[in-house]
Amino acid sequence: MTQKIIQMCHVTKAFGTKVVLDGLNFNLQRGTVTGLLGKNGAGKTTLLKCALGLQTPQSGIITVFGEPARDLSAATKAKLAYVPQEVTLYPWMKIRQIVAYSRAFYPRWNDSLIERLMKDWELGVEERVGTLSTGQMQKLSILLALGHEPELLVLDEPVASLDPSARRQFLATLLEIAISGDRTILFSTHITSDLERVADHVVVLKSGKIVYHDELSALKDSVKRLRIINARALPATMRDLPGVLHWESTDANAVLSVDNFSPELPERLSREWQAEVTVEDLNLEEIFLELHHG
C-alpha cells in the first residue's frame, strides 16, 4: 500500500510573471489529517489544485496514489474527493436529486451516512440547491464529498462560511473519518484553532515554498518564545543565532522566538548570557505569526 498518497517534487507554478509555487516539495502520508496553513495569496489553493491535477505546473512531478496527477484513472478518482472553496452547484436540482446525481457517478456510496449527516446538518431534502445560503451550500459540497467514503479527502477552506456550531459539527465529522482509520485528509485553512483540534500534521506555505511540514505537536514543541531578564552578557545582535525567528532586545532584557527549542536551551542561554530565562509556550496562531515575522 502506498504510504505517500500525494507526492510533489520540485513543483513550480506561475501565473504570468507571478510565481506562486517555487520549487516546492511535498509528501502527504497515508492516514494523517494534515492542515495547510499560509497567508492569503500564499498559494494554498494553487497547491491543492496542482495536487489533484486541476492545474499543471510549469515544472515538477506530481503523483496521486502513485499515478501522475494530470492523468488519473477512474479507479483513483473514485478514491478521492475534492471540496473547492467556491462551487455553484446545479441550482435547479433538489438536494435529494443532487445527492442522487453525485451518487450515480461512484461505484460505492454510503446512503446511511449521508442520511444521518443531512439530518444532523439540517439540510432539507426537498430544498432547491439554488435557494441555499452560502453556508448551506458549503455544507452540501462537503456532504457530497463524503458519500463515496474517499480514501483521500482534500478540502479548500471548508469552514470559511460556516457558523461556529456548524464548524464544530464539521470538525466532529472529520474526526469521525480520521478515527475510522486509513483515510487521509488534507485541508487548507487560516483558522488555526480548528487545525489544532483536528489535525495531527501541519504544513506551512510561505513564499511559494513549504517552510514547515511535520507533526503539529513537534511544531509546538520546537517553536517557543524565550524571555530574557537581567542579562549581564547579552549579545548585541541575535540575528546569527541558529533557529532564531524574531528578537527584540534592550540593554539587559530580550524576547526572542526560536524554532529549534530543546529542553537544555534555556539553561544554556541562562549560563551564556548570565540571565534569567523563562519559556513561553506558543499556540499555533502565535507560531504562525512568528514564522511570518519580517
Partner 1 sequence: MDPVLLFQINPSSGLPIYRQLMDQVRTLIGAGRLTEGDMVPSVRQIAEGLQINPMTVSKAWSLLERDGVLERVRGQGMRVLAAAKVRGTVKERQQTLQPLLEQVVAQAAQLSLSREQVLAAMAAALKELPGE
Partner 2 sequence: MDNYTQVLMTYLTRKWVALYAGGSLLVMLISAVWSFIDPGKTLISPVPLYFVFALQFLAMHLKQQMALPQAHLVPGYRRPHLTIGFLWLTCPLLLVGFDAWNRDVSIVGAIVITFYVWLTYFHINVWPHRVAIAALVFAIAAIFIPHLRAVVFDIILGREPILAWSLFSAEAAAVVLLFHHLATLTEDDPDYGKVAAMNPWDLRPATTRTQNRAAMLKSGRFTETLYAAASRRLDRITRVPAKNFWQRVALYRMSGDWPTNWWVAIAIIACLELLVVKQAASRILTEQSFRQTAMIPLSVSTGLTLATWFTVFRRWGRLGYESLRPATRRQWVLGNAAAILIRVGQIQIVWLLLQAAVLLIYFPEFQLSPVLLETFGCWLGWQILIFGVSAWIASFASYALKMISMGAMLGLMWTGWIPLGLLNAEQGRTLWQITAVATGAIGLGMCAVAYRRWCRIDFA
The burial class, CB within 10 Å (0-12 / 13-18 / 19+), for 208 is buried
Binding partner at 150 among partner 2, partner 1, none, C-beta below 5 to 8 Å by kind: none
When asked if residue 77 is in the footprint of partner 2 (CB under 8 A), the reply is yes
Instruction: Indicate the residue among 29 and 85 with the shorter CB distance to partner 2.
Output: 85
- What are the C-alpha distances in Å from 201 to residues 59, 89, 152? 26, 31, 15
Cell numbers placing 44 = 494554498
When asked if residue 104 is in the footprint of partner 2 (CB under 8 A), the reply is yes
Among 199, 226, 258, 269, binds partner 1 (CB under 8 A): 199
When asked if residue 111 is in the footprint of partner 2 (CB under 8 A), the reply is no
Total of chain residues touching partner 2, rule CB under 8 A: 41
When asked if residue 166 is in the footprint of partner 1 (CB under 8 A), the reply is no
Length of the chain: 294
Distance CA(30)–CA(261), nearest Å, equals 28
Instruction: Indicate the residue among 13 and 220 with the shorter CB distance to partner 1.
Output: 220
Rama region for 74: left / alpha / beta (φ>0; ψ in -120 to 50; rest): alpha
When asked if residue 289 is in the footprint of partner 2 (CB under 8 A), the reply is no
How many C-beta atoms lie closer than 10 Å to residue 16's C-beta? Answer: 5
Beta strand 59-64 with 67-68: parallel, antiparallel or unpaired? Answer: antiparallel
Element (H, E) at 19: strand 18-29
Instruction: Indicate the residue among 46 and 257 with the shorter CB distance to partner 2.
Output: 46
Among 198, 226, 231, 275, binds partner 1 (CB under 8 A): 198
When asked if residue 238 is in the footprint of partner 1 (CB under 8 A), the reply is no
Task: Answer yes or no: are the C-beta atoms of 210 and 256 closer than 8 Å.
Answer: no
When asked if residue 179 is in the footprint of partner 1 (CB under 8 A), the reply is yes
Question: Which amino acid, residue 167?
Answer: R
As measured in angstroms, the least distance from the Cβ of 267 to partner 1 is: 9
Binding partner at 282 among partner 2, partner 1, none, C-beta below 5 to 8 Å by kind: partner 1
When asked if residue 259 is in the footprint of partner 1 (CB under 8 A), the reply is no
Closest CA to 139 of 128, 115, 123, 157: 123
As measured in angstroms, the least distance from the Cβ of 185 to partner 1 is: 10
Cell numbers placing 21 = 509555487
Instruction: Indicate the residue among 89 and 279 with the shorter CB distance to partner 2.
Output: 89
When asked if residue 197 is in the footprint of partner 1 (CB under 8 A), the reply is yes
Cell numbers placing 257 = 522566538
Task: Answer yes or no: are the C-beta atoms of 69 and 50 closer than 8 Å.
Answer: yes
Cell numbers placing 178 = 480520521
Which backbone phi and psi does 165 adopt, to 5 degrees? Answer: -70, -35
As measured in angstroms, the least distance from the Cβ of 81 to partner 2 is: 8
Residue tagged 444521518 (cell numbers) = 116
Among 61, 87, 233, 241, binds partner 2 (CB under 8 A): 87
Interface with partner 1 by CB under 8 A: which residues? 32-33, 168, 171-172, 175-176, 178-179, 192-193, 196-200, 215-217, 220-221, 224, 263, 266, 276, 278-286
Interface with partner 2 by CB under 8 A: which residues? 49, 52, 54-56, 70-75, 77-78, 80-82, 84, 86-94, 97, 100-107, 109, 128, 130-132, 134
